[in-house]
Amino acid sequence: MTFNLRGHAQTQAQFESVSREDGMRDVLAAYDFLGAQRNVDSDSIAVVGSSYGGYLAALLTALRPVKWLALRAPALYKDSEWRLPKLQLRREQALENYRLQSITPDESNALRVCREFTGDVLIVESEKDTVIPRQVIVNYREACIHAKSLTYRLMEGADHGLSNEEWHRAYTALLVNWFNEFVFSKKVTEATGAEKKPSSTTPETTFKEGQPRPEA
């Protein structure tokens, strides 16, 4: 299931006033709606988020059961001003400087819940990202110390918004590959009783570098 956060698409008029609290309510509503569907296993939900959506997806893991978490260029904000319109946070929180700093899980709720998350994690970085600097990605990666597995992908040459169609296809391909390896293979294992381990030699903490190929 995909959905638009408040302040986008049909609710674009709210863009300047929507807060992180509003965004979190939308994420929770979407999760609860999905989990209530008859054909959905509510105990086996994967969550995928990009940028601001990645930040909210991380926070969601502390509020709802999540088994698989995929974050592409996840944003990072200070914990303060939770109800302030998100549009004002860049100035109020001096985000350009904040996101260049090494932040520990003890200093950030988003990183703290990542430290506590015990499922499989995928983190995707864009090499030419001018919105989310590398240090933010490092902060998220270093926080996921208890994850069952941590897969990292670097999309060489890609910008934050994946403005090139080829980058969109590459991201879709790596996301599908990750789902096939960690999500769908688990469901097959549960159904057949046959154990299928991830292809990595160290599944508990896997860092994978390099640009994903669209045909992969």
Place of tokens 């509510």: 42
User: Quick one: tokens of 157?
Assistant: 């040459």
Calculate the alpha carbon distances from 74 to 42, 71, 166, 180, 202 in Å.
24, 6, 21, 22, 24
pLDDT at 1: 93
Place of tokens 């190929």: 213
Beta strands in the chain, from DSSP E residues, in sequence order: 46-50, 68-72, 120-126, 149-155
User: Quick one: tokens of 136?
Assistant: 């933010």
The pLDDT profile of the chain, 216 residues, written as one tens digit per residue, is: 999 899 888 888 888 999 999 999 999 999 999 999 999 999 999 999 999 999 999 999 999 999 999 999 999 999 999 999 999 999 999 999 999 999 999 999 999 999 999 999 999 999 999 999 999 999 999 999 999 999 999 999 999 999 999 999 999 999 999 999 988 776 555 555 555 444 443 333 333 333 333 332
CA dist 132 and 71 (Å) reads 12
pLDDT at 13: 84
Calculate the alpha carbon distances from 50 to 47, 133, 146, 204 in Å.
10, 14, 22, 23
CA dist 102 and 107 (Å) reads 10
pLDDT at 168: 95
Q: How are beta strands 46-50 and 149-155 bridged, if at all?
A: unpaired
Contacts of 22 (CB under 8 A, 6+ apart): 6, 7, 14
pLDDT at 54: 97
pLDDT at 14: 86
Contacts of 164 (CB under 8 A, 6+ apart): 158
Q: What is the CATH number of domain 9-192?
A: 3.40.50.1820
Cα angle at 65 between 61 and 68, to 5 degrees?
70
Q: Domains of the chain: which residue ranges?
A: 9-192
